[in-house]
Structures are given as structure tokens and as C-alpha cells.
Structure 1
Amino acid sequence: MQWYLKVLNNYAGFEGRARRKEYWMFVLFNFIFELIVRIVDAILHTHSLLPFLYGLAVLIPSLAVSARRLHDTGKSGWVQLINLIPVIGTIIFIVFMCQDSQDRPNKYGPVPKEFYNE
């Protein structure tokens, strides 16, 4: 949960780097919260209003943590646009998100401190 909150606290921070753990824990908790919101939406019959509002609220943090994750692997945040290519683009994006972090400072910033704590 701390990783999810860390991403939300850095709401629009596109600079710097994010470790694999930070990114994937955010994705996991985002998925869980999305399921909860969809269940509540079905119970309340709000016609997809709640999932829309939740998705809108986490759009910028999702883009920001993805950009920081790409920075951690040495790629530009603009590489996220590869998701616009149906199927293949999404597969390539997932592969990029699973890659190891660069273990040295790069042009996007120093190695995240947590890297050494694992």
C-alpha cells in the first residue's frame, strides 16, 4: 500500500526514476481498487460513472510512474506511446516494464536509494 501512496504523493512527477517494485506494486493496488470500484458501481447502478472518475483520478499518476520506470531502464518516458500500437505495442511495453534497472546513475537521475535496500 505504501508504494501506491508513494506514487499518488508524487502525482505528476515525471522526472527521476522508479524501481520495478514501485511500478508493479502501484499496478497491483490500482487493479485491486479498480475491481472494488467496479463492484460498488454495479451495486449502486451508477452506469460506469465511478470507474470513469477513478480512472480519471489515477491517469496522471499512472503515466508519471510509467515514465519514471522507463527512465530507470534508460529509456525516455515517451516510449509509453508504443501502447498505441495494438497488441504488439502493449507486449513490448510490458517487456520494457519488466527489465532490470540500470545499476548506475543515468541521464534521468541517480539510482533510487531503495535499490540497495533489497
Structure 2
Amino acid sequence: MMRNKVLSQLGLAQRAGKLVTGDDIVFKAIRSNQARLVFVASDASENTQKKFRDKCRTYNVPLVIGFTRDELGESLGKLDRVIVGVTDSGFASMMKNGLITLSEVEYIE
């Protein structure tokens, strides 16, 4: 299933040191043009989703909303994660290709 493939690619990016997590760190990565793709948990608050939707739109960073905080955390081998930023363009484009086909994921380019 493509959904699991994207989550395992997140895990690979984590092990390669190509991810940042947490509100402030991901915001900083977006502002400094280091974030290539941002994941926001589908069960994050409306406020958090809006904040990152607006920030990503302003800086032209693709945004994904559609995995739960548990799914994101589990893929990274950590406790639940609400915000994840991919800082490597190779990993980001690999994930984007998989995301385009997922209808239950909100993908904003």
C-alpha cells in the first residue's frame, strides 16, 4: 500500500538525518528554505493545521495533512509526532510521487 510506503520512506529519511520535527524547528526550516516537504498530523488542532498551511503557502513548501500523529511517530521510531519537515529534496520528491495517488491525504503543492 502506498500509504505504508510513504511512512517507511519517512523512517528512512529519519535514519539518514534528513528530517526535523517540532513546531519551532520546522518553522525555522520553512523560513530558511531548508524544508522541502512538511507533514502535519491529520489529528493536529485546527489552529496548528492552519498555521502550517499558511506558512507553507507563503514559502511555497508542499504540505501534507493525512497521517495521524501516531502513524508519523511510529514511522520515525518515536512517540507521536504532529509536525515533520523533510529537508532533503531527494526524499521529498520520492514521497511526493507516492502522495499524489493517495486520495485520503491532503497534499498541497
Q: Which has the higher strand share?
A: 2
Give the TM-score normalised by structure 2: 0.28
Give the TM-score normalised by structure 1: 0.27
Q: Which has the higher helix share?
A: 1
Q: Which has the larger radius of gyration?
A: 1
- Where relative contact order (Cα < 8 A, 6+ residues apart) is larger, the structure is 2
